[in-house]
Structure 1
Amino acid sequence: MATILVVDDEMGIRALLSEILADEGHTIELAENAAQARGVRERLRPDLVLLDIWMPDVDGVTLLKEWGATGLLNMPVIMMSGHGTIDTAVEATKFGAVAFLEKPITLQKLLRAVEQALQRPAAPAPAPAPLLRTLTLPVEPPRTLVMPLAEPVIHGSVLAGAHPQVHAAVGHGHDGLLPPEQSFDLDRPLREARDAFEKSYFEFHLARENGSMTRVAEKTGLERTHLYRKLKQLGVDLNRGKRNSLA
């Protein structure tokens, strides 16, 4: 069976989770704060960590980020909170959590989440940082990639000294109701650039499917619940496609 680290500042929660998981045959390690959790992580690599978000010294998301930044996040982590929000859950999964449990935690949800997390393949050890080399690339003329109508068409060029941008022109099928041409500034942090692209991507599919969350989920390969959370996180207007279809 597995070795599971339970990190929670509430003694009653630690005792309850320890008893339940021990009855399932697991070996349980306990920590009431981030400092104790670090100590356990230094002594051994647990097979799974149940990590509370709200703790008095260092919160769980901060500890999760710390483990990820130092190469110690090579085990699945399930976040727990009695005051969690969708934004908190999304943030935790961004930094490596595999699941989010809202307190009070039911027995069925706990055991199911633990079973699914333990079935995940082990995370590989972090690779050493590559040596940086300076490459001199020849200047290329502008290039245009042409794709079929009603699909994103990327027009891009990066010249020496030029401000890098990508322009995405979307074909106006479906009575011209699809989103207009979009410009993406590449001279910005990766997360901001990715969020801007993802927002345009989902707005395109919402418009094309007339606001149908079911069809957008099928097209994008996401579950409806995850898709809804993603759209809310990106600030996508969920009624945009529906309004367009009635215009």
Structure 2
Amino acid sequence: MPGKQILIVDDEMGIRELLSEILEDEGYDIKLAENADQARQLRNQFRPDLVLLDIWMPDCDGVSLLKEWANGGQLTMPVVMMSGHATIDTAVEATRIGAIDFLEKPIGLQKLLSTVSRAIKANVTQANSELSLSSLGRAQAVHELKRQLELVQQLKTPVLLLGEPGVGFDSCARFLHHANTPFVAPEQVERALDAPAELLQQAQNGLLFLREIGRLPSRAQHGLLQVLAKLEKFNIRLVCATTRSLAELMQDRGFDAGLFSTISVLQIPVPPLRTHREDVPDLANQIMDRLVEERKVPPRRFGVAALNALRNHDWPGNLEQLRNLVATVAVTAVGEEVALAEVNRLLAPYAMQQTLGCGEALDLPLREARDIFERQYFEHHIKLENGNMSRVAEKVGLERTHLYRKLKQLGIRFSKRTLEE
């Protein structure tokens, strides 16, 4: 895709110049870095559409730089690793951290061009706003989650993720996904399971992620059982998630006992945000930086007092609530620095809910108080219906076009794919 920016990081001048000449002839805009320090500086200045990163460099190896970007929330672009003598373990480690491919030196012309084209195309088409698992935090609760996922990463057994709404199931599923294989995550699980054969074809040799399986009707459960029966044949790793407790599922007579037994062999709980609230300031900054990088909002940063308020909040909606709040304040903030009052205004409805209507939210102008209630109301129903906008529209009594217009007005994000439902 001509015009796309590629950052080449390699300590060998001959390699840099050769790759640069080839890719510039293809119409790409090339930036060069001879070491990790220069790569950091360039990454801080702009978000490249692709990074070609050498593994072995004198000051800091490429895997360490990749891990640094991942932990700092800067791994928002595809990275292809390069090396002439890397071990399989090194390549696997880079993939686990977030690299999407690997080029072995000497690099063939066609291999280079096809890999670059595929990586950039994937970056353009991927509609994924999830934070990577590496950037979810440094607290003990997150470390334990990573440890458990690493233990099952190479297995083929289905995994069941358990947790509250908005905890980051997608990030966990993507962590278990192997690069350069299909990642299939249907927006409407119930509808997708009506055609299990089609779902199996789409996910063949890859990972199938079903976001909420705890409330499937009997027909969809039957479809899931058909998928489970053919996972091995199609070489698919299945990851399911539910916000219902195991006790609820076991006691639900409408939930097939055989299905429950099969999908719950490997259970991994995903911690709510309040159990690692010390990570909230970093997460908020990462989300804001990504919005600014993608030019969705003007330059914005949180003030210290605003970050403290975010840290002290309980986050009943977890990461999804944090993302929505940051996206809203990024659009509505008056200046470049987000002030405490602007954060408190958006946190007020949750505080009001917890204190039975007492507090500063009652002192807001009517229009602001109404917007706060409506935002909370619609977010509640979208979560309740697992993003099915047809059911949300029906439940709240609005025509769908009016609903979409209202959500956009309130700054509530929703998948564009739901427009086609």
TM-score between both structures, scaled by the size of structure 1: 0.56
Gaps of 5+ in 1: 133-185, 202-214, 223-247
Higher relative contact order (CA 8 A, sep 6+): 2
1:85 to partner: Cα distance: 2.1
Q: Give the corresponding residue for 2:148.
A: 190
Q: Does residue 124 of the first structure (1) align with residue 147 of the second (2)?
A: no
Size of the aligned set, in residue pairs, is 154
Specify which of 216, 228, 236 is matched with residue 221 of structure 1: 236
1:102 to partner: Cα distance: 0.3
Q: Equivalents in 1 of 2:145, 2:41: separation in Å?
A: 41
Deviations for 1:7-56, whole angstroms, at most 9, x for unmatched residues? 00000000000000000000000000000000000110000000000000
Change over 3 Å in CA distance of 1:100–1:192 after alignment to 2: closer
Alignment of 1:20-99 (within 5 A): 20-99=22-101
1:88 to partner: Cα distance: 1.6
Change over 3 Å in CA distance of 1:7–1:187 after alignment to 2: closer
SS at match of 2:18: helix
Q: Note if contact 1:74-1:124 (Cα within 8 Å) is conserved in structure 2.
A: no
Change over 3 Å in CA distance of 1:113–1:129 after alignment to 2: closer
Letter in 1 for 2:155: E
1:194 to partner: Cα distance: 1.6
Alignment of 1:160-239 (within 5 A): 189-195=147-153, 198=155, 218-221=233-236
Q: Equivalents in 1 of 2:98, 2:146: separation in Å?
A: 23
Gaps of 5+ in 2: 159-229, 238-421
> Between the two proteins, what is the percent identity of the paired residues?
56
Cα RMSD (Å): 3.1
TM-score between both structures, scaled by the size of structure 2: 0.33
SS at match of 1:80: strand
Q: Note if contact 1:7-1:32 (Cα within 8 Å) is conserved in structure 2.
A: yes
Change over 3 Å in CA distance of 1:9–1:75 after alignment to 2: same
SS at match of 1:45: coil
Deviations for 1:172-198, whole angstroms, at most 9, x for unmatched residues? xxxxxxxxxxxxxx9993145325x81
When you count helix as a share of all residues, which structure comes out higher?
Answer: 2
Q: Equivalents in 2 of 1:4, 1:15: separation in Å?
A: 13
Letter in 2 for 1:124: S
